[in-house]
Amino acid sequence: MDIYYRTWPPSAHLQPFIRELLLLDVAAEPGEVVPAKAMAANTEQCLVFYLRGQVTAVQPESGTTTVYAPTALNGTQSARFDFYISSRFRMLSVQFQPGVLAKFLRVPLPEFTNARIDGEAVLAAEIRQVQEQLVNAPTYAALGELVEAYIWQRIQRLGIAFQPFDRALHALAAHPQGYSLDQLAREACLSKSQLERRFVQQLGVGPKLYGRIVRFSQAHALKQARPELDWLHVAVACGYYDYQHLVKDFRQFAHATPPALLLAQAQAPDRLARLVR
């Protein structure tokens, strides 16, 4: 199985809007099974282009199965999904900075939570044209250039701007254990009820749930980056009262214990990736 996996920052002028770009390209041999990707809850909000093959998502808790559209808009994910991809598969994901997707789409995001909305249903013909260009792109570098050109053109056309709420959101995303609702509301220049409504509008979930998912994601990422750390150290470093509180979040957001989630993710395509040119 040949796997190309890469993440990279966007061009400087797009960095206030895009956190990173992600490319995954898989070519499996006939009869070779591509391992599933166990995707726990996360706050990533993305525009994803499936350029070859398809994704089938299964939610372990409910057993619900969904096949995603060729272009998908990803909202905040508060539950685990297991992703199964075709033996020949290519995807390009634009991973927005917190809160930017709602501005980019000019629509509120509650219905995007735990969903992958068909991009054409929201962005119509313009996104279909971009998809066609990306499918026919001659190189990986051209993929990045084409999608950045589209994103920047739309940002300029919409005149996307930032407000005090966005600063408060970034503060919470960086330090979820360090902010109360009162502090966030003051920083956002909003009342607490206004803050709650703005979170639901731009992130699809309220600030408390958003902060919990961010803290869970940070604990998960810390253990992946530093596997030598024991789970109690990870829990305390990420602001949990003790290991059991961390386990509670893992059961809610990953439908698994902490060790079981890492085991489920060990053979995911991005973990197996070896760069090929």
Helix, strand, coil share (%) of the chain residues, nearest 5: 45, 20, 35
Express each pLDDT in 195-213 by its tens digit.
999 999 999 999 999 999 9
pLDDT reported for residue 274: 44
Residues of the chain with pLDDT under 70: 273-277
Q: Rounded to whole angstroms, what are the CA distances from 50 to 62, 75, 84, 210?
A: 25, 16, 13, 27
pTM across the whole model: 0.92
pLDDT reported for residue 267: 82
- Contact between 23 and 218 (Cβ < 8 Å): no
- Contact between 172 and 211 (Cβ < 8 Å): yes
CA atoms within 13 A on the CB side of 83: 22
- Burial of 198-226, coded b for 16+ CB within 10 Å and e otherwise, reads bbbebbbbebebbbbbbbbbbbbebbeee
- Contact between 46 and 204 (Cβ < 8 Å): no
pLDDT reported for residue 273: 65
- Whole-number Å distance between alpha carbons of 81 and 57: 6
pLDDT reported for residue 61: 84
Residues 6+ apart with CB under 8 A from 159: none
pLDDT reported for residue 276: 39
Which element (helix H / strand E) includes 124?
Answer: helix 119-135
Express each pLDDT in 52-111 by its tens digit.
999 999 998 888 999 999 999 999 999 999 999 999 999 999 999 999 999 999 999 999
Q: Given the structure tokens 């909202």, which residue do they identify?
A: 75
- Contact between 269 and 37 (Cβ < 8 Å): yes
- Whole-number Å distance between alpha carbons of 99 and 104: 9
Residue 186 in tokens: 């003051």
Selection from 143, 162, 154, 47 nearest residue 90 by Cα: 143
- Contact between 34 and 56 (Cβ < 8 Å): no
Which element (helix H / strand E) includes 150?
Answer: helix 140-158
- For each of the domains in the chain, give its residue range(s) and CATH number, in order of start: 2-160+265-272 (2.60.120.10), 164-258 (1.10.10.60)
Q: Given the structure tokens 């599933």, which residue do they identify?
A: 36
